Amino acid sequence: MKKIIYVLSILIVLILLTSCSISTGKSYKADGFALGTIITQEVYGRDARQVSVEAMDKLKFLEDLMTINDLDSDSSKLSMNAGKGYVELNPETISVLKSARKISDLSDGAAFDITVAPVVKAWGIGTDNPQIPSEETLKKLVPLINYQDVQIDEASNKASLAKPGQMIDLGGIAKGYAGDVLREIYQKNGIKSGLINLGGNVIAVGSKPDGSPWSIGIQNPRSETGGIVGIIQVSDKAVVTSGDYQRYFEKDGKRYCHIIDPHTGYPADSGLMSVTIITSSSTDADGLAKAFVLGLDKGMDLVKKYNQSYSPADAIFITTDKKIFVTPGLHDNFKLEDESHEYTCIKKG
């Protein structure tokens, strides 16, 4: 009898050990579409599939809140009530508005500003019919841009837009926020290792299952096939890029990108092709990537300011003359891997 119990307990221990190793080594890859972009998830750990489904559901929920294409969204609610006082919004929208304010404040509204919406609309950015608005139209709309007119009453989850005609566009920060929320879902479910890609916004959750950092490719802004110019190694970081190759249109040989200079109302044209921000907060990284508007030097200054005011951030700026500028934290990390042989890497102080 004793022998049987002994054998049985060894068997039970063995079964427990094997099931444990199967579940921790388990991975799941999921693709989907939300927030206007392709979503991919690589999740390692127990319940990986279930966690990816929960994440996808959450993305759909956030899309419904933040989209400008639906009259019932929080974005539309706020815009439709511009100049009419406060409206109650979901606490998650309030949280995004607060983060937007924080990032806009860093540049006094010269780079990231969610009230660019009326101008974004006039250019038809994100639609099938982008167009160049008349000077007259822009003259009327640019004065409506002012992030300080977004007033937030956190205690009651309310917000308002000061002037009639003002609108908000969360397209430049919603994906970033979604990245942070997804990471929280992973962590809440005990996932220690995962990679989330929200249309170019990458969130590295922990490290790879073997403990080594994730390798993230930095896109070649002029590659038609999604080629890269380099690779960085990161753990527990968001890697977020804004570039002139996403949603641009061309007219008479000129490229018009989807990022608007809040001061002029014109698509940014500051000698950059892309800006990649690497920091812990995916929300902040998305907002900061609009340093794109400012060009190389002022853009780099903005990243430095974020470093000093909040938390460590690194950046990769790629200029139109194909130079790649990387901040000190990436000097030994960024590896030039440029199949086109057109780019050079410059280590910025």
The CA distance from 209 to 213, in Å, is 9
169 contacts Mg ion (rule: CB under 5 A)? no
Q: Is the dihedral of CA 187, 191, 192, 194 positive or negative?
A: negative
284 contacts Mg ion (rule: CB under 5 A)? no
286/314 with CB nearer Mg ion: 286
What residue 92 binds from ligand AMP, Mg ion, none (CB within 5 to 8 A, per partner kind)?
Answer: none
43/119 with CB nearer ligand AMP: 119
CB of 247 to ligand AMP, least distance (A): 6
Residue from 169, 180, 261, 286 touching Mg ion (CB under 5 A): that is: 286
180 contacts Mg ion (rule: CB under 5 A)? no
Q: Using DSSP bridges, classify how beta strands 313-319 and 272-279 pair: parallel, antiparallel or unpaired.
A: antiparallel
CB of 138 to Mg ion, least distance (A): 24
- Residues in the site for ligand AMP, rule: CB under 6 A? 112-114, 116, 120, 125-126, 169, 171-172, 242, 246-247, 258-260, 262, 286, 289-290, 293
CB of 174 to ligand AMP, least distance (A): 9
DSSP one-letter string for 245-282: TSS-EEETTEEE-S-B-TTTSSBP-SSEEEEEEEES-H
The CA distance from 50 to 43, in Å, is 10
244 contacts Mg ion (rule: CB under 5 A)? no
Closest among 310, 236, 223, 234 to 274, alpha carbons compared: 223
Site string for Mg ion, 321-340 (x = CB under 5 A): --------------------
178/330 with CB nearer ligand AMP: 178
The CA distance from 88 to 158, in Å, is 4
User: Residue ranges of the alpha helices (H) in 219-347?
Assistant: 282-288, 295-309
